[in-house]
Amino acid sequence: MNGNFNNLRFSFENTRQSNLLSSPFPSPAPALTGEYIRLRPTTISHPLLYILPFLLPQALTAALAAEMEGAAAETPGGHLEVALLQIMQRHHHESLRQRKKTERAKMDAVKSAARVADLLVATVDGGVKELYINERRIEMEARALLATIARYRKQTDQWLATTNEINSVLKEIGDFENWMKIMDFDCESINAAIRNIHQS
């Protein structure tokens, strides 16, 4: 910073639009240019400077403000330049604040979305796992039931075979009893005949 600062005029060249903007005040950070800004001092022989508007150091901005306030007492239009510089500073700080706020909100939104996704996945996985466990349990119960039915069917067949055998034995016993009755009747008939013959 020196006394010749008040005589500087910067020509701003936007690399996106390639148009020249002239400013009567030495502000190296125009408000809405974006992209890289090339500053060419017209009254001093310094090399071209390439900077980003949002990377302008606060110390340089404060130095510019102090220089402009000192020049305001000497230059008739100095108050306007100081006001414009303050507006640009406020816009710069507001842009930084909004950018930080946006980034913080973005990070919070990403974290919330990740948390919701994790909860949804956990819920779905829990339900699927429970369904799988229930399905396996039903399959095991069905297999056990089929095995029990097969065992009871085999046992029932054995009981039926045993019952048929018992019926056959009972039938044979009944036939033998009838045969014994017939034999007893025949014996009595023969005995009666022999007795009649003996008496006569």
The pLDDT tens digits of the residues spanning 49-73 come to: 334 444 444 545 555 555 555 555 5
In whole numbers, what is the pLDDT of the chain averaged over residues? 71
Measured distance CA(114)–CA(109) in Å, rounded: 8
**pLDDT of res. 109:** 92
pLDDT digits (tens, 9 = 90+) for 23-49: 444 444 443 444 333 444 443 333 333
pTM over 0.95: no
Q: What is the pLDDT averaged over residues 101-121?
A: 91
Kindly report the number of other CB atoms within 10 A of residue 89's CB atom: 18
Angle between helices 58-72 and 78-199 (to 10 degrees): 150
Query: With 80 as the cut, is the pLDDT of residue 155 above it?
Result: yes
Residue 126 contacts by C-beta under 8 Å, 6 or more apart in sequence?
none
